[in-house]
């Protein structure tokens, strides 16, 4: 059974911003006087005094409830610093992982004098049938050349963030260290304790109300996305959050949106603005070109899960794009889907 709550007057921009505002640094850090292991009271997660041979140098709370916690560890010989953060999320919106990663990267950028470079990619952690998705990147300070590793994991009603800075470890050693740290904190246990239910809320943006044709088309695309997630993603993975990282979830949804627009345009029942007709026409052009998946990947900075049997041709897509430039921006949302944190 699919339970869907539709909220028509919720501004999407504010909805997305709310998640960024609730990121790890939502308040100034306050050092906690802890000598031994620290237990995160809400999840019973342990921040040990010694983490894989790295000594804890400080543990901090970023809010009064002490639900937003960070700890810093350093190697006894120096040269490597590990920071681990655990903090709450609100609703499991389809974009929250990408937004949270962008927020974390933005904090690093603000502390850099001449900026940074990064190469983000998707990662995951699985145990006992549960799976959490994450974004990880190697971050390089432009001025100093110092490289560090950043990863953010979507763990149900919590985020787990790691930052590893080292002038001793290479990228392979850093990746190995990251997975050993994950085995210590077990992000899937955060999901197991308090999983999301696959009951969707759809927030429609004011832009979706330009006319009735656009609204009914957007509704068709949104419902298709909810159904695709239920049909194609394991329930224990959905327990960690709405699975908005799947390429085909977006491809199927946009195809359905275009299809609904096409069949509804054949009647006079639905009002339409010239901008809506142009939008649907352009979307159909992309679909008919055969480059819909490449277009979606391009729009989402390649941070989507591609099916193993799908071959993408970005070289041909870029050539097509030069001839047929598109005005559609998928970041200008008509709606956002979320699992609610009750």
57-114 pLDDT tens trace: 999 999 999 999 999 999 988 889 999 999 999 789 999 999 999 999 988 888 877 7
pLDDT at 164: 96
50 pLDDT higher than 70: yes
22 pLDDT higher than 80: no
- Contact of 169 with 149, CB cutoff 8 Å: no
Distance, CA of 216 to CA of 319 (rounded, Å): 33
pLDDT at 292: 98
Read off the pLDDT of residues 178-214 as tens digits, 9 standing for 90 and up: 999 999 999 999 999 999 999 999 999 999 999 999 9
pLDDT at 225: 97
pLDDT at 318: 97
218 pLDDT higher than 60: yes
5 pLDDT higher than 90: no
Read off the pLDDT of residues 113-141 as tens digits, 9 standing for 90 and up: 778 888 999 999 999 999 999 999 999 88
Distance, CA of 340 to CA of 342 (rounded, Å): 6
pLDDT at 28: 78
Look over the chain and give the mean of its residue pLDDT values, rounded to a whole number. 90
| pLDDT over 70 percentage in the chain | 92
Distance, CA of 135 to CA of 152 (rounded, Å): 5
pLDDT at 46: 98
- Contact of 85 with 69, CB cutoff 8 Å: yes
- For residue 24, name the pLDDT band (cuts at 50, 70, 90): low
Which has the closest alpha carbon to 158: 245, 220, 239? 239
Distance, CA of 66 to CA of 87 (rounded, Å): 9
Would the pTM of this model clear 0.85, i.e. be above it? Answer: yes
Lowest mean pLDDT among 19-23, 179-183, 288-292, 305-309: 19-23
Query: How far is C-alpha 97 from the geometric centre of its chain's CA atoms?
Result: 2
């Amino acid at each position: 059974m699919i339970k869907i709550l539709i909220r028509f007057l919720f501004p999407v921009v504010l909805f997305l911003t709310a998640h960024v505002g609730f990121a790890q640094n939502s308040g100034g850090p306050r050092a906690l006087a802890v000598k031994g292991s620290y237990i995160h009271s809400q999840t019973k997660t342990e921040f040990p005094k010694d983490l894989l041979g790295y000594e804890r140098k400080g543990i901090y709370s970023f809010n009064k409830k002490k639900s937003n916690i960070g700890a810093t560890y350093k190697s006894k010989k120096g040269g490597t610093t590990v920071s681990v953060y655990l903090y709450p999320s609100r609703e499991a919106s389809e974009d929250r992982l990408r937004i949270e990663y962008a927020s974390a990267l933005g904090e690093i950028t603000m502390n850099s004098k001449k900026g940074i470079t990064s190469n983000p990619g998707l990662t995951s952690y699985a145990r006992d049938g549960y799976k959490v998705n994450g974004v990880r990147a190697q971050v390089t300070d432009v001025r100093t050349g110092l490289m560090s590793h950043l990863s953010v994991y979507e763990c149900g009603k919590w985020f787990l963030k790691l930052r590893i800075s080292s002038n001793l470890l290479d990228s392979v050693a850093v990746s190995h260290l990251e997975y050993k740290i994950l085995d210590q904190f077990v992000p899937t246990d955060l999901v197991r304790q308090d999983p999301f239910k696959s009951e969707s809320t759809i927030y429609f943006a004011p832009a979706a109300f330009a006319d009735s044709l656009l609204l009914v088309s957007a509704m068709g695309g949104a419902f298709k996305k909810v159904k695709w997630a239920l049909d194609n993603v394991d329930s224990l993975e959905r327990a960690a959050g709405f699975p908005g990282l799947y390429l085909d979830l977006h491809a199927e949804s946009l195809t359905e949106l275009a299809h609904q627009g096409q069949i509804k345009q054949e009647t006079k029942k639905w009002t339409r603005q010239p901008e809506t007709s142009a939008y649907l026409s352009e979307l159909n052009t992309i679909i008919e070109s055969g480059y819909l998946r490449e277009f979606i990947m391009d729009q989402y900075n390649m941070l989507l899960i591609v099916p193993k049997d799908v071959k993408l041709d970005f070289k041909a897509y870029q050539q097509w794009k030069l001839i047929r430039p598109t005005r559609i921006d998928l970041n200008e949302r008509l709606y956002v889907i979320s699992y609610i944190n009750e």
